[in-house]
Structure 1
């Protein structure tokens, strides 16, 4: 037996017990004729005391950092207790020890405050995983996984596996493809999601399905993207949108309680896609704080029917930046009217960065004494500035920040500026969680370069029931880009929903199409010929002719959910063996070349390269 207890298990109650421990050497500290060693395993750290009798033997076989030791000894109560670790009241008076394996000097220190950079730690990820900070992330990931499974089991969902080697049906992100040796010249694809399989399971009568499943997308990477990632994938039959929302609000609240001991008792707020875009500039708003956007250029109607109180506030003042802009958007930042010139100049440089892409920033200071001062006083008098402040919902002490330009870029830029100001003011607290449902997305987007519609979610999303007839009765073809806003398809709403947590989309889904006629109409709208639709999705269209039930579902980004709950901006911190931002596994040095024999077996010739 290598051990009787773990390194995180022993307490004062074990005093006097003879134990055997095994683990890795964290530190070695010599004090004259005695030596202290901190021994570490997955469960914690225990201090070992090597007395005078063992010190000579220890000197002949000195353990270094990350040596693997087995020790036998007696649990004793420490005189100098360490309140910072659970085992800090005891130590092991070692009677014998054995070096199970030696270690070369690690390339970085294996502790929370490591001196290893990202690339180095990823190259030696098996060492990085020994660090307590990384271990806590994986423990949280396991806790979220376990909580989700427990909830779904209690709700009568079945965990059903679906294939990884499937048919390539490019639509959206690129597929990873796998050549088939037994079917020369043909390829499998790795699934971007189990979408069609879970719909087929609904046709098969398995009315509550889930998987915690790997998905694959060959796309350019960012801090929150990986080429392989994990979803909590769910589907239900005989449901409407409200059933899905209630079921999975329940799941996330269950996870909050099980993992973070948070009782999320409030009703999850809901808003339409239009409200999110007008009020926050993006479709995944962080609603932990206010600072809603205001369009100063023209009045508009919110999707709830209320008129926004803007009116023509800024046109005709002779300020070309505003007069000639497609849109002018503002936010009121609370309590920042005392910003200095240096601070406003720094914000101006911030919005000029390539990632934001604006040419400048206009500000209006609403001073605490009620006066107003702006960077455009030359063009706007006090009365006009007061009207702008009132429209922006600003109060004395606030700073109004205004961006102008093309609609899409300006909306994105001020959305990022709002988030940045929220961060600077400490309004985006890691330990505060705010859920939101975003509903009623457009079903289609118009791809100008291809002169055709594309699905905003995916081709299997159903229109809202009231819009089905619009889709069935109209031809999707468009003459040119100028006319797409006039087309009936531009107003069709998807029966879709996204769950947002702290400004991050953590889940998205929809009620699905389940009738062949409507699915064929959707494929036609996306520019597929009947022959192409049959080639790519004939199996699904055929299944719809055998009594497909109404169904819908949702998929949660498991890695992202874990990252948010763990207070990290990157999902990579919560994946055991992640890829870097170039999609490489620097530990395995993958992807890599394969030898000529393998290529020959696959009938693959590499174009334009010299292959070793």
Structure 2
């Protein structure tokens, strides 16, 4: 940190080589201690702490002033650097061998009594959000924000070194088909018309490829009006990347190097590359998720070969009708509690389970030491099926096996959620420091909406179908068409996703048509990009990484709110600035908006 008129050093720069020198520091009172009239203060700035001592025998007036100081007062301290008395050193601090003997203390600002103590964790998140500027003073939060800076800086340096150009794209734009609601902004100069805040710079970055920039990136602000959770915010930041004349492997190699540099900057760890890769089909079959956490087992196993001819009718007929029978062996979890079993059934029901409870087999020894397979199902299985089940799932004492019979998608959704919940219950990753990166590739291009039976894009409508699957799209076999899409995953979190894009006008128009966008709508919503493709658009593709989520994982946090300086709460509100807020009638009239919202009046108290 560069010295200035206020200070000569920061509070973590004072060392033994400064003993005897007069220095000036600025910062906040982190704590104060009275040792028999001698006042010790830990002065804190962004960089760290330095101990300051006020001795009455050397300056009685200054010592008297020090008694009036309270936590978080802002001070300018001048004094001589001295060695701490032997036995009072603090090895935990970089400045722990020295202290400042104050000769001058200037109070730059007094602090009122704080709404909460900064040296303690606060469970009331609303309080933290309301006084976020105080929350950010805490060491943990300050470290998180600085870590975010380090990884962002590493990303910029890496991409600059790889020949990418940083370009800003518009914030005020047209609505984009990104799968969530847009935030709309009324255009005062164009009455009755609206801008939309970008969910992603998708079309702009593709147009930059048409423009010949070849390699673009942006630390892009994006906006989505959707329900919130721990790793989601209405405004978020992504590292947006697009390049021309590239294929999937080029993007994979680039992004692996980028992530290695970011995690090295944030954690100091060397991440091995290349990352493992699996197809979407394999990820769903084994883990029930397209962003699997591979730090633990409990994988989903297909039991069709065991039960295809079973005497247990439910399993046999499910397979005969094109469904699946899948199982998870939760190793060592036979001691599951009633409450845990209820929770697993709740999770399965939320994921789409139609029966009342998960079928299971619990393996324990009885009072006589005989191994028992406790389940209403066990008696329906033949001896050969029982042996095959035990061998295929590696069933041992204290295991519990969960089954699901139904459609492939149901089995993936239900057992995938159950697998994750079992891992949480058994704390399989509690002390894990593993960073299991993974590429998931070959996603389906299209999915059918259950309600409307219409086709929707799994990623977005600019994703290119695999070349060998284009004939399937032409033949109308949309469910079989795979996409040139790829996601990078870490420990069950999707860090980012991307694809090779469509760059031909006719193919893009064909995909729009499959998605139910007629020619008139295509011209209205996407005319600019379809026109651009007429004038020599190069093959191109890219990927976007969630910067907030990466910062969260690098910092070891469970919520992206902990790595965003001023986040919204789970209702999308900023309690510090009281936003969103009501707008007065005059302002609304100027932008041609009339609110139809009627605030509900509180119900009258019941008469006793």
Please, what TM-score do these two structures have when normalized by structure 2? 0.90
Who is 1:587 aligned against? 576
Give the superposition deviation at 1:402. 2.9
Identify which of 312, 315, 328 aligns with 1:316: 312
Identify which of 590, 603, 607 aligns with 2:592: 603
Identify which of 238, 244, 247 aligns with 1:240: 247
For the residues of structure 1 that align with 2:483 and 2:306, how far apart are their CA atoms?
A: 29
Secondary structure of 1:232 counterpart: strand
Deviates more, 1:20-29 or 1:265-274: 265-274
Change in Cα spacing, 1:189 to 1:315, as seen in structure 2 (3 Å) is: farther
For the residues of structure 2 that align with 1:323 and 1:528, how far apart are their CA atoms?
A: 37
Give the superposition deviation at 1:601. 1.1
Give the superposition deviation at 1:534. 0.8
Aligned length: 582
Give the superposition deviation at 1:315. 5.1
Give the superposition deviation at 1:48. 0.8
In structure 1, runs of 5+ residues without a counterpart are: 299-308, 475-486
Who is 1:139 aligned against? 146
Would you say the 8 A contact 2:498–2:543 is kept in 1? yes
Per-residue CA deviation, residues 279-304 of structure 1 (Å, 9 max, x unaligned), is 100111111222210133x3xxxxxx
Would you say the 8 A contact 2:308–2:315 is kept in 1? no
Who is 2:606 aligned against? none
Deviates more, 1:169-178 or 1:72-81: 169-178
Who is 1:568 aligned against? 557
Who is 1:514 aligned against? 503
The yes-or-no answer on 1:553 pairing with 2:554 is: no
Who is 1:130 aligned against? 137
CA RMSD in angstroms comes to: 2.5
For the residues of structure 2 that align with 1:321 and 1:128, how far apart are their CA atoms?
A: 59
Change in Cα spacing, 1:461 to 1:115, as seen in structure 2 (3 Å) is: closer
Change in Cα spacing, 1:205 to 1:430, as seen in structure 2 (3 Å) is: farther
Identify which of 477, 483, 486 aligns with 1:497: 486
Secondary structure of 1:353 counterpart: helix
Would you say the 8 A contact 1:364–1:385 is kept in 2? no
Kindly report which structure 2 residues correspond to 1:520-539, keeping only aligned pairs within 5 A, or say none.
520-539=509-528
Change in Cα spacing, 1:117 to 1:375, as seen in structure 2 (3 Å) is: same
Give the superposition deviation at 1:366. 5.0
Kindly report which structure 2 residues correspond to 1:276-291, keeping only aligned pairs within 5 A, or say none.
276-291=283-298
Per-residue CA deviation, residues 89-125 of structure 1 (Å, 9 max, x unaligned), is 11110011011101111101112x3346111010000
Who is 2:155 aligned against? 148
Give the superposition deviation at 1:151. 1.0
Identify which of 433, 443, 446 aligns with 2:445: 443
For the residues of structure 1 that align with 2:496 and 2:328, how far apart are their CA atoms?
A: 28
Who is 2:47 aligned against? 43
For the residues of structure 2 that align with 1:405 and 1:491, how far apart are their CA atoms?
A: 20
Who is 1:305 aligned against? none
Change in Cα spacing, 1:176 to 1:318, as seen in structure 2 (3 Å) is: closer
Change in Cα spacing, 1:32 to 1:384, as seen in structure 2 (3 Å) is: same
Change in Cα spacing, 1:387 to 1:232, as seen in structure 2 (3 Å) is: same
Kindly report which structure 2 residues correspond to 1:78-157, keeping only aligned pairs within 5 A, or say none.
78-79=84-85, 80-111=88-119, 113-115=120-122, 117-157=124-164
Give the superposition deviation at 1:258. 2.8
Please, what TM-score do these two structures have when normalized by structure 1? 0.90
Would you say the 8 A contact 1:33–1:55 is kept in 2? no
Secondary structure of 2:469 counterpart: helix
Kindly report which structure 2 residues correspond to 1:155-554, keeping only aligned pairs within 5 A, or say none.
155-296=162-303, 298=304, 309-312=305-308, 316=312, 327-336=324-333, 339-340=334-335, 343-353=336-346, 357=350, 359-366=356-363, 371-376=371-376, 377-380=378-381, 383-395=384-396, 398-404=399-405, 408-428=409-429, 429-471=431-473, 473-474=474-475, 488-554=477-543
Change in Cα spacing, 1:320 to 1:543, as seen in structure 2 (3 Å) is: closer
For the residues of structure 1 that align with 2:310 and 2:466, how far apart are their CA atoms?
A: 38
For the residues of structure 2 that align with 1:592 and 1:275, how far apart are their CA atoms?
A: 47
Give the superposition deviation at 1:450. 2.3
Who is 1:477 aligned against? none
Identify which of 578, 581, 606 aligns with 2:567: 578
Change in Cα spacing, 1:153 to 1:349, as seen in structure 2 (3 Å) is: same
Change in Cα spacing, 1:387 to 1:354, as seen in structure 2 (3 Å) is: closer
Change in Cα spacing, 1:314 to 1:150, as seen in structure 2 (3 Å) is: farther
Would you say the 8 A contact 2:38–2:55 is kept in 1? yes
Would you say the 8 A contact 1:370–1:396 is kept in 2? no
Would you say the 8 A contact 1:362–1:374 is kept in 2? no
For the residues of structure 2 that align with 1:9 and 1:319, how far apart are their CA atoms?
A: 70
Secondary structure of 2:140 counterpart: helix
Give the superposition deviation at 1:363. 3.5
Would you say the 8 A contact 1:321–1:404 is kept in 2? no
Change in Cα spacing, 1:39 to 1:356, as seen in structure 2 (3 Å) is: farther
Would you say the 8 A contact 2:122–2:128 is kept in 1? no
Change in Cα spacing, 1:580 to 1:81, as seen in structure 2 (3 Å) is: same
Would you say the 8 A contact 1:430–1:567 is kept in 2? no
Per-residue CA deviation, residues 561-606 of structure 1 (Å, 9 max, x unaligned), is 1111222221111100000011111111100012222112101111
The yes-or-no answer on 1:19 pairing with 2:12 is: no
Who is 2:83 aligned against? 77
Give the superposition deviation at 1:345. 2.8
For the residues of structure 1 that align with 2:247 and 2:533, how far apart are their CA atoms?
A: 18
Give the superposition deviation at 1:418. 1.7
Change in Cα spacing, 1:322 to 1:447, as seen in structure 2 (3 Å) is: closer
Who is 1:306 aligned against? none
